[in-house]
Amino acid sequence: MAPKPAQGLSRLLRQLVNLDSPAPGCTED
C-alpha cells in the first residue's frame, strides 16, 4: 500500500510517459 504522495508521483510519471510516448490503455485521463 503506497502513500498518497507516492501515488501522486506515479500519476505524474504516467502523464509524462503518456506525453513522451502515448500508448493505448496507458491513458488514465
Residue 15 contacts residue 7 (beta carbons within 8 Å): no
Helices (H), the chain: 4-20
Could you read off the pLDDT of 1-29 as tens digits, one per residue? 566 777 788 888 887 777 666 666 655 55
pLDDT at 21: 64
pLDDT of the residue at 5: 76
Q: What is the dihedral of CA 10, 15, 19, 23, to 10 degrees?
A: 80
For 2, phi then psi, to 5°, come to -85, 145
Question: 3 — phi, psi (to 5°)?
Answer: -65, 165
pTM of the predicted protein model = 0.40
